[in-house]
Amino acid sequence: MTSGSRKKKRNKRPSPRTASPSTKAAKSTSLPPGLGKLQRDRAVVATKEIFIDASAESCFSIVASQLERRPQWDPMIIYVKPVSKDRRCVGATSQVTLNISGKKLESLATILRYRRRSISWAFNTRPKVREDWQLELYTQGTRTSVTLAYEIGGWTIGRFLYKVMLRRKMKQSLDKMLTQLKAVAEGTEHQTVEG
């Protein structure tokens, strides 16, 4: 084999930005470069977790549907309208309006990662917003963790003060969201068991 033919084989491998949309689909979706990447010095990041007495599959189904219709358990999402034909896969896009600490943000949101117990989505435009979900199965339920990252503008000093205040408000919003998600997931799980 010549080195020229080896290069051709290497070039046929998918790029790191290419991901399989789901375990069911065979075709690939190419994501725009830099989608979901936030500038660290401008990002406000808040992470919260909660234990939910429901199966990981039930919890994931509820979380994964948040870009299909407005979730009653997520007070930050005001409006959702799916744009892409395919849903629940990498590259699926929805028009989303968020309320983060009283600030209304609108953009297309694209699913960046869609795995068995993990999903991430991000705004396609500035200000950048990204939400990452991880679900971990335990014997008696599911540990659910969410990280919300929001990229803010402004000058360094003003941005620092705003980040401190905003992080506290974001954590309060995530607490409320996870508490409501827990109520919905546990209610759905118990209805399924009883029915």
pLDDT the model gives residue 7? 42
pLDDT the model gives residue 129? 92
Number of domains in the chain: 1
Would 29 be classed as within a structural domain? no
CA–chain centroid gap for 20, Å, is: 17
Per-residue model confidence as pLDDT tens for the chain (195 residues): 454 444 443 333 333 332 333 444 324 455 556 656 777 777 888 999 999 999 999 999 999 999 999 999 999 999 999 999 888 899 999 999 999 888 899 999 999 999 989 999 999 888 889 999 999 998 889 999 999 998 887 777 777 777 888 889 999 999 999 999 999 999 876 555 444
Would 133 be classed as within a structural domain? yes
CA–chain centroid gap for 22, Å, is: 15
Q: Which domain holds residue 54?
A: 39-194
Would 20 be classed as within a structural domain? no
Q: Rounded to an integer, what distance in angstroms lies between the CA atom of residue 63 and that of residue 22?
A: 16
Would 117 be classed as within a structural domain? yes
Q: 156-160: which pairs have CB atoms within 8 A and are 24 or more residues apart?
A: 159/42
Domain with residue 105: its CATH number is 3.30.530.20
Would 66 be classed as within a structural domain? yes
